[in-house]
Structure formats: structure tokens, C-alpha cells
Chains A and B, each alone.
Chain A
Amino acid sequence: MQQHPTAPAADAKVSDVFGTDFLKKLEYLAIVAKRLFSGMQKGERRSTRRGTSVEFADYRDYSQGDDLRHIDWNIYGRLEKLLLKMYEEEAELFVYLLVDTSRSMAWGGPVAKIDYAKRVAAAIAYIALSSQDRVVLSTFNEGVMEKSEPLQGKRQIFSVFDFLERAESFGKTDLGGTLDDWARMKMRKGIAVVVSDFLDEKGVEDGLRALRTARFETHLVHVVDPREAKPDLEGHVEVIDSETLEKRQVFVGPEILKKYEEEFGSFCRDIEHRCSEKGVGYIRALTDVPFEDLILRMLRRGGFVL
């Protein structure tokens, strides 16, 4: 059987997280993504940035310092107003993937939240690379840990794998500070996808604000382990926070469990509500749902990422 020309080389390095099957699934997802967006501009994504290409886009008022070459003098002749012609910029799209590698992401089973997050990030990266977009990966916990160079082309998927496999789970979560720091880095604007469990006592508000201020199109992928939503605990237990190592003694009875589930549900709904208010994409990813199903759901929902 001949290898698909766009498929990664067979001798490419694969890991436990990103196995051969994983690559096949990524290829399938890339094809589905192309089919779904076939009605749009082929192969690329239109940038929201206004630039200097040949295709007219809009007018705007002249302001001091603007290039005089772009003033529409015909308009000035008719209306005596200085208006600048705006052209759509035919630009490369930048997709920034931010993966939470805090200690809490190591929790869960049989698939740890960190592994699930890596797969989701890799899948999104592959689809973006397949569309000739540029992908930048970042990991963070209390701060930005690592940031990759912009990657382009499908073959760069192995660089994505390498980057993600290097990421280890440790440290606490500080969404607000970390995302603010990250947004201040001098980067071209693009799509920022944050993959995290968002277990930060201070909430996601500050982080979202920082990303929006920096004019990133933001999407949140909320990774949730099913046992995190419905703990299988009973009786006298001492719960230990995986990040802070804080201990709490609790007698887990039906009543307590019910209240816990209500609290967790309220936490998730709160994040979703804030995202909705700010026009931020949000999707909840349960780790017992195959990641490809999650990606398909994201694609079909529309308006997300690609």
C-alpha cells in the first residue's frame, strides 16, 4: 500500500501519547476539516487584519502619519474628506496553543488530563499545519515555561510532538499572571487556544482579559476528568491538593458528594458563562471521550479555530 503523500513518514518517531494510530486520526481530522471549510477560501484562512493587498476592503478616516499614497483622492474630490482605502491583507494565520502543565493536569485516569490536553493540542496543530498556518506552542503553569518557534508545514507535526512530549506536569496554576505575561510577548496576532483544567482559585477572568486586550481570538478547551466531576470517594478520607499539598479531612457521604457535584458544575458553568460574555470560545473536554470526537465536535460547532 502506498503512503499518502501528506501523511507523516513511517519512520518518524512516535511516542505513547502520539502513536501511529494517533497520526492516522490526525490525518482524518485534517481531511474532515478541509471538507467542512471547502465553501470558504481554499486552503487558507482569511485574516481579520487589514493590510495592503490588491483586494479592497474598506475606508477609514485619515489620521496624521498615514501613508498619503493610500488616500482616495476621488472621494476627496467629491466629498472633500480624506479617506484612506483599506485592503485585505493576505496573511499567514498564527495559531497559538497554550497547554497547561500544572501539577493538577497530571491527575486522572486512565488518561491523565495532561496527556489528553497534549493530544487535543497536537490535533489542532496538525489541522492548522495542514492549512499552511503557522503554529506556536507554549506550556505554562505558574508562568510561561516554554514557547516554540512558529512552525509551518505539515511535516512540522513531529516538532509539535517533540515539544509536547518534553512538557512535564509540575507547579501550580496562575492563569491570570501567566496569560498576561504571555500576551505581552511581541507576537503577531492570531488565535490563542488555551488547553487547561482552569483549576485556579483566582479564576480565568484576568487571563481572558489579558488575551482580549492583546487582541487574540481566544478559545478555551476545558479538560475535565469524569472522576473529578463525580468523585468515587466514600467514608472518612483526607483529600490532598495535588498542587498545594493542602490537606482537608472530610467524611464523604451522599449529601457531601451531591454538594461537591453541584459545586463543580457551578465552577464549569461559571467559566462557560464568562467566555460567552466575552465572545470567547469554550468547549469542555471529558477525558473519557475520544479526543477525535472532541475535535470533530469543535469543527462541526463552527466558529472555532479553523
Chain B
Amino acid sequence: MLNLLNPSALWLAMVGLPVLLLFLLKVRRREVVVPSTLFWRRVLEQKRESAWWRRLRSLLSLLLHLLFIAAGVFALTQPFVLPSEKGGQPRLSVIIIDTSASMRTVEDEDKGETRLDIAKERIKAKVDALTPGTKVAVIAAGVRPEVVMPVTDDRASVRAAVDAIEGTDTGGDLMAAVDLADDLALANAPAEVAVFSDGGGVPAGAARRDDAPTLYYHRIGIEDRNVGVTAFAVRRLPASDSEVEMLVGLKNTTDKEAALELQVYLDGVLLDTVGVEVAAHADEDKVFNRTMPRGGAIGVAISVKSAAAAGDGLPADNYAYTLLAERDPVKVLLVSAGNHFFLSKALSENPSFEAYIVAPADFTSSAGMDCVIFNEVAPAKAPVANALYVGSVGSKIPFAAEPKKLDLVTVRYLDDEHPLLRHVELHDAAFAASRPVTAPEGSTVVVDGTGGPMLIAWERKDRRDAYLAFTESDSDLPLRVAYPNLVSNLVTWLGEPREEETPPTLHTGDVARIPVSKDTKRLLVVLPNGEEDSVEVRPGQTSVSYAHTDHAGIYIVTEERDEKAAAAAAAADATGTAGALAKGAAPFARRFAANLTDARESDISPVNELGIEDERPPTAVVASDLWSWLASRPLWRYLAIIALAFIALEWVLYSRRWVY
């Protein structure tokens, strides 16, 4: 069926009328006086043409002019052929381009050409080959499908939109894109769906609607060798403040064992390098313990030691990132009236503590401290901070201790599970004396001795206190390893060290929930690739859902606050903390990490079938019949060439001036 894209151009056929008129009207010849017509007569006699031949020549000239006009006007109408619907070309072609991480696989190392580049070129070639009049829509299939070009017949816009598509570090959900394409196709039947992908992202046995259009799967890529990071996690070891345990999941899809170099970074600075091997076609989890002096952004990167041994088609999955929370030191104040040599050493040598010491006479308040230790002294009034009382006797303390100590006490009971006794061995310790004390109701006797409770932990709703019944001079414990551990456990339990909440590490494409304060106007997000993004925060909003997490790496979020509220907050900060103890670090919660770490994406082998019902391999344009052939070609170009041929023929026959 022949259709015209621009039927209004048919009006231009009126140009033929003046041409016809000029032909019918006799041409008024120029009169020229010559000395004699003698020679003209002789010449004309030689070239005598019959009248009918002259007429025919004239008619042929007119015919050529009219054919030129007809072909030109027809070309301007931009005719196109819509083939019959049976096996014919569709009116809408919905093109799905897979933008998942695996599409960033480098297929041609010399050119640096990725699967995405190949897919773009093939899409553009397909768009050019479509029947004029066939509309096109383009959907990018990342972790969420996105219509990058709505239904249009503007091929230039489609090409520009395809060129502008960028790869992501996310997994892909092809089936969601196919569903979206089916919805688009419903309003523009007959339609087709063309998927340009390396496969994946389709659940097994995925089914489409009954009236879904034909789906053509264009497989992109051949490279299948890759090594990548499929999992990454870091946690602090419970036994140590500085030691961390790292888990790195690795995948090797090559035929050979991959010798890899694993590099560990902290805030962009290389900390350590580890050599690891991953067997051929294997997924292996590697666990390492490493000393991490502080929290921060931890990154791992793998590189293949010998490129010849194993290929690495997808560089995007060679990196993973996570955040390790910072831990604030516990501020502890020691108020001591007796011996405190070992106690003060145990406090000052521990890097997790920030210890201060004052004489009982100088002690006024424990404000600003996380905990306070009263060594053989009792405060005049109950302290604000959580407190450890070491052999203290007094009416203002929450523990009722007797003035007279008991001699030669032995340990009768230990609560081994209690955190205060972690890594503390007391069975063979000798205690020369211990102060009898009564455990308050609700408190826990952690260590009980023959002379009564020796260590009481009392945890109430918003307060913790502990009582140690023996001093460092009453026992040989200070000479043992258990003593600094006990002191550390006590101070840690009492000081309740606040570890910044570590936001969970996301998968790329996941939605990040970013908490915001009530005076935040806007969030500024610096993406891993350096780009900046901003999110407006509505009044009263407590958190922001941020979905532009297509790139793997660390996202840095800063808040733009309302000026008045910010000034008030700053004033509160200045007064609320002691000058010497004030911290200037940026809020740790304003960073989050996103990783690809997707075993499906690291398996870059292109699949031969998507696994969707009724999918078909791509069909080449085959000139099975004339209509199909015409339907696949821009007819206006041929018509324009024909028009030019007519006018050129007329010129050659009637108007050409030969140069002798």
C-alpha cells in the first residue's frame, strides 16, 4: 500500500500548468535582418525535417519536462510503501537497549569498543533501515527501565537519543523493559519489540501479555572471559578496635586459574596488596584480616596479573567499595584518692580512651565525660556521667559498701558471658582484701566472691554504674593481662562508645535512604564520577530517597540548611561540648557506597536466547517481493534521481552546447 508522508506537496504539481501553457503558446521568435537568407535557406534545406518529426521532438521535450515535474513532486510527497500486515513491517518499533554493567564489556580492545557501542551502532542501522513512516521508541533497560525516546518518527532525534545513552554500573531488568515496551506497543499496533542486549535480567520462563507484539532479540557481544568482584564486606573484629575482617567474593569465568592482585584502599590511599588465585569457572569468597587504623571509605580493586593467562572483558566489576564506621574515643575522668598507677596506665595506654585525671578536691563535675572513675573516693553528689566506683564508700553513691574490708577473698562465681569479663581470666587471681557491698536491686553481680559481690554492673533505663570491690593494691590482678582488659571492658561498657551508624552498602541502582534534619533545604550529592546532583527537601521530610545510584563508588552527601536554623545549630554545638573535646569531622552518615557486585553481571557470556516466550532471532531485510523491497527503501531519493535524469536528458537533447 502506497502512502504519502507529505501529501500537501501534491499542490506543487500545478507548476506543470504553466509549462503546458508555454508549450501551447507559440514562441515569439526574435526577428533578425540579415544581408541575405541565401545561406540560411541552403542550410535549412540540408536539415530539412518533416513537420511531424518536429512536432514529435517538441512533444518529447514537453513530455520530459512534465515527467521531471511529476517525479519531483512525487519525491516531495515522500511516498512510502506499507507492506501488507501479514509478515509486513510494523508501524512502531520499540527498541530496548540493555544498559546494564555487562554491556560495558570491551569487545574490541584496540578500539576500546564496548557492547554498548556496538548496540548503539546496530540500533542506528536498524532505525535507518526502517520503513519511512515507521515510528520508533527507545527504552534503556538498566536496573529500572527508562524511556529515553518516546514514540516519534523523527529519526534524527532517535539517533541523537541513542548516542546520548550511557552505560551504568547496575544490574539490568530486561523483563521490566519488555513489559514497558509491550505497553507502548499496545497503542501503536502493529508493532515490534527489538531487544539489543547480551542477555540476562530475565527470570526463567518469563511470560508476556497475550497480545504482546513480536519480540526480536539481537544478541550483542562474544567475549565471555572475565574476573570480577561479586561481593565485598568489611566489619570490625569484636576483639579489636583496629582490626577488621574483609570478605571479598571473586568470580572467574575464564578457562584458566586467574592470578589476581587485590589492592585495598582507605580513602583513596593504597593500604595493602594481596595476591589471590581464583580457579577457572569458579566463585570464591576470600576472607582477610587487616589492620584498619580508622574508619573511612574502603575500596578494593582487582587486576589480572597476567593478561595472557586470563581475560578480563568487563573492567567495571573490578572494583568494590564500602564504608567503615569511625568510632569516637571514650572520654574518661579518673578521680583518685589512693593508688592508681596500674589503673591510670590501663586508661592512658588504650587508644580508644581519652583519659583525664583529677584529685578529689578538684573534682566538681563530670559534664562532658562519657564516664568517671572514683578510685577509693566517693563524690559529694552523684555524678552526671556513668560511674565506676573502686572500693568507694559513701552515702551519695548508688552502692551500699561497708567501711571495713574483708581479708583473703576468693572468687566464687563468674558471669563469663557478661561483656565486662570478655578476655578476663580471674580464677587464679589472688585477692588480699575486698570491700563488702550490697548489690542493688536490678543490678547484676558479675563476679561474686567469698566476701560478697566483687563486681557489680547496674544498668538502668538511661544510666550505667559499676562497682569494683577491690582496689589495685588489694590484688595481684594488676600484674596480669586480665587487668587492662577488665578496665577496658568497664570503661567501654560504662562509656558506651557511640559508633557512627554505618549506612548499608548498596547495590548500584538501589534507592538510598538519606536521613535529613528538619532544617535541611536541599541535599547536594557528589557522584563517584565527580558529577554533582541535588535533591530538594520538602519541609518536614525526615529522609530522602535517592535513586541515581547507577555508578559504583562512594557518594558524598552534603546538606544545604536553612541559614537561621544552621546558626542556631552551630551555637548549640559550641556550648554543648567542651572546647578541648570538640570534633570537627564531617558527619559520617552523609556518605554511602554503591557496588555492582552482581554475579550475573560479572558473568558476561552473552546468551543465545533471552528465555522470553515467543522471542525470535533478528530478521534481515530480505527482498522477498517488490512491495517488501520498496517498503524498506526511501522512495523519494529514487524519485529525485529519476527527476534529475529526466531534466538531464532534456538538456542533452535540446539545450546542450557542445564545445568544439
Interface string of B34-48 (1 = CB under 8 A from A): 111111111110110
Residue pairs across A and B with CB atoms within 8 Å: the count is 81
Say which one of A12-20, A86-94, A149-157, A247-255 lies at the interface with B. Answer: A247-255
Q: Contacts A225-B35, A242-B35, A243-B36; is A254 near B658 (CB within 8 Å)? A: yes
| A162 located at the interface, meaning its Cβ lies under 8 Å from any Cβ of chain B in the complex | no
Of the A-B pairs whose beta carbons lie under 8 Å apart in the complex, a sample of 28, sorted by A's number, is: A107-B34, A107-B35, A113-B35, A197-B35, A199-B38, A201-B38, A235-B30, A236-B27, A237-B30, A239-B32, A239-B34, A239-B40, A240-B32, A240-B34, A240-B37, A241-B34, A241-B35, A241-B37, A241-B38, A242-B34, A243-B36, A248-B37, A249-B29, A250-B40, A250-B44, A255-B47, A264-B39, A267-B39
- How close is A229's CB to chain B, nearest CB, in angstroms? 10
Query: B residues engaging A (CB < 8 A)?
Result: 27, 29-44, 46-47, 657-658, 660
- How close is A12's CB to chain B, nearest CB, in angstroms? 33
Selected contact of B657 from candidates A242, A244, A254, A263, CB within 8 Å: A254
A87-120: which residues lie under 8 A (CB-CB) from chain B?
A: 104, 107-108, 113
Measured in the bound complex, the distance between the Cα atoms of B98 and A239 in whole Å is: 78
Q: Contacts A259-B43, A259-B46, A260-B43; is A240 near B33 (CB within 8 Å)? A: yes
Selected contact of A199 from candidates B35, B40, B43, B660, CB within 8 Å: B35
Q: How large is the interface on A (under 10, 10 to 19, 20 to 34, 35 or more residues)?
A: 35 or more
The answer to whether B33 touches A254, judged by C-beta atoms less than 8 angstroms apart, is no
The answer to whether A236 touches B46, judged by C-beta atoms less than 8 angstroms apart, is no
Contacts of A263 in B (CB 8 A): 39, 42-43
For the complex with contacts A199-B36, A241-B36, 13 further pairs of A-B residues with Cβ separation under 8 Å are A228-B34, A238-B32, A239-B33, A240-B37, A242-B33, A242-B34, A244-B37, A248-B37, A248-B40, A250-B44, A254-B658, A255-B47, A260-B39
| A246 located at the interface, meaning its Cβ lies under 8 Å from any Cβ of chain B in the complex | yes
The answer to whether B34 touches A254, judged by C-beta atoms less than 8 angstroms apart, is no
The answer to whether B31 touches A238, judged by C-beta atoms less than 8 angstroms apart, is yes
| A231 located at the interface, meaning its Cβ lies under 8 Å from any Cβ of chain B in the complex | yes
Measured in the bound complex, the distance between the Cα atoms of B641 and A124 in whole Å is: 68
Q: Contacts A107-B34, A197-B35, A241-B37; is A256 near B47 (CB within 8 Å)? A: yes
Shortest Cβ distance from A102 into B: residue: B35
- How close is A236's CB to chain B, nearest CB, in angstroms? 5
Q: Contacts A104-B36, A225-B35, A256-B47; is A238 near B29 (CB within 8 Å)? A: yes
The answer to whether A233 touches B32, judged by C-beta atoms less than 8 angstroms apart, is yes
Most A CB atoms within 10 A — which of B30, B39, B47, B657? Answer: B39
Contacts of B36 in A (CB 8 A): 104, 199, 241-243
The answer to whether A237 touches B39, judged by C-beta atoms less than 8 angstroms apart, is no
- How close is A57's CB to chain B, nearest CB, in angstroms? 46
- How close is B34's CB to chain A, nearest CB, in angstroms? 5
The answer to whether B47 touches A228, judged by C-beta atoms less than 8 angstroms apart, is no
- How close is A166's CB to chain B, nearest CB, in angstroms? 22
Contacts of B31 in A (CB 8 A): 237-238, 240, 247
Measured in the bound complex, the distance between the Cα atoms of B33 and A256 in whole Å is: 17
Measured in the bound complex, the distance between the Cα atoms of B43 and A235 in whole Å is: 15
Selected contact of B35 from candidates A104, A246, A248, A256, CB within 8 Å: A104
The answer to whether B30 touches A248, judged by C-beta atoms less than 8 angstroms apart, is no
- How close is B61's CB to chain A, nearest CB, in angstroms? 12
Contacts of A225 in B (CB 8 A): 35
- How close is A278's CB to chain B, nearest CB, in angstroms? 22
Q: Contacts A236-B30, A248-B37; is A256 near B43 (CB within 8 Å)? A: yes
Contacts of B30 in A (CB 8 A): 235-238
